[in-house]
């Protein structure tokens, strides 16, 4: 576990949310993780931010790790983008330290961008890792691959990923997903393949993907299961864009930083890099101060922690 972090449960938006935190007395930085992650993905940032004088807080998002995910009257998990944003807004008020700095990675970046749009009063500045602003409602400004075997489309099918994952123990599933997501190419399965089948013996893994890392994450996913994380990250994705339609053409006015890995597979999404570098993102996020490209892939906070920490600390102290 992250040495020096303290853990507690916060009541927010009708659920009990687990948070890990380090540092006290300074400005608060919220760290919002992605999939297949938990608070533990931020272990390098928690210490660095605390050492720099910040109060760093890393929650398990709704349905992940040790944080609850209630069901509605029909038995469906309550996992709309507004549910998760409401959790974070409630967390900010529970901490009593608004406004706050926010960092989001992967699906956590979606929440961060939505927070900038819907509750800019609570955001001192925002840093997004791996996922750029995805448009002001209705649909993303770039196209997701339409192939049936694209992992996003496969994970969006209820029960399919669970059946695929069910062939392995939790530790193997997580190691396989991390291995695939560390590649620089989009993951697309053939008609007779499942996503787990794409992992090969020739795949290399980064140095941070240790047995200890997999052990910690596995224990947390064995408590939460994969249904909640898959539902919010993939199965509600298009519905998320639909629900954001009222904010169409509304720019993000918060001061923002975008950090991406040089070899992040997300950059291969058709039109994404052109949107980021060709002026589209700057148009939609006029206070975007920089697009920083650092060594590594999708998990830049773990591939290049020193570079990411330096960028975050400098950005928040400006």
Residues assigned a catalytic role? 106, 234, 298
| Beta bridge partner(s), residue 188 | 150
Beta-carbon neighbour count of residue 169 at 10 Å? 12
Residues 46 and 2 sit within 8 Å (Cβ to Cβ): yes
Exposure class string for 108-137: b at 16+ Cβ within 10 A, else e: bbbbbbbbbbbbeebbebbbbbbbbbbbbb
The token pair at 4 is 């020096």
Residues 216 and 40 sit within 8 Å (Cβ to Cβ): yes
3-state SS, one letter per residue, for 162-176: HHHHCCCCHHHHHHH
Residues 176 and 137 sit within 8 Å (Cβ to Cβ): no
Q: Give 75's contacts (C-beta < 8 A, 6+ positions apart).
A: none
Give the span between the Cα atoms of 234 and 155, in whole angstroms.
Answer: 6
Task: Give the containing element (helix H, strand E) for 128.
Answer: strand 123-129
């Amino acid at each position: 576990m992250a040495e020096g972090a303290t853990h507690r449960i916060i009541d927010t938006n009708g659920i009990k949310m687990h948070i890990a935190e380090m540092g006290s007395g300074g400005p608060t930085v919220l760290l919002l993780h992605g999939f297949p992650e938990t608070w533990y993905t931020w272990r390098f940032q928690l210490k660095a931010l605390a050492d720099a004088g910040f109060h760093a807080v890393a929650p398990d998002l709704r349905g992940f790790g040790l944080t609850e995910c209630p069901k509605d009257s029909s038995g469906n998990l309550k996992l709309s983008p507004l549910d998760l944003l409401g959790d974070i807004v409630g967390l900010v008020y529970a901490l009593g330290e608004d406004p706050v700095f926010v960092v989001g990675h992967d699906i956590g970046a979606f929440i961060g961008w939505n927070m900038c749009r819907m509750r800019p009063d609570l955001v001192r500045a925002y840093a997004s890792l791996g996922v750029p602003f995805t448009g002001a409602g209705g649909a993303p400004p770039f196209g997701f691959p339409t192939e049936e075997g694209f992992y996003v489309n496969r994970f969006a099918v209820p029960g399919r990923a669970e059946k695929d994952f069910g062939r392995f123990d939790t530790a193997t599933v997580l190691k396989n997903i991390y291995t695939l997501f560390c590649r620089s190419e989009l993951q697309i399965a053939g008609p007779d393949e499942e996503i787990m089948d794409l992992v090969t013996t020739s795949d290399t893994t980064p140095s941070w993907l240790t047995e200890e890392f997999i052990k910690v994450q596995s224990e947390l996913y064995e408590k939460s299961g994969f249904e909640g994380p898959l539902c919010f990250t993939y199965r509600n994705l298009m519905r998320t864009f639909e629900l954001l339609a009222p904010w169409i053409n509304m720019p993000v006015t918060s001061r923002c930083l975008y950090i991406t890995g040089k070899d992040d597979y997300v950059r291969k999404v058709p039109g994404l890099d052109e949107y980021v570098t060709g002026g589209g993102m700057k148009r939609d996020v006029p206070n975007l101060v920089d697009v920083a490209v650092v060594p590594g892939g999708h998990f830049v906070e773990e591939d290049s922690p020193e570079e990411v920490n330096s960028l975050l600390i400098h950005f928040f102290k400006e």
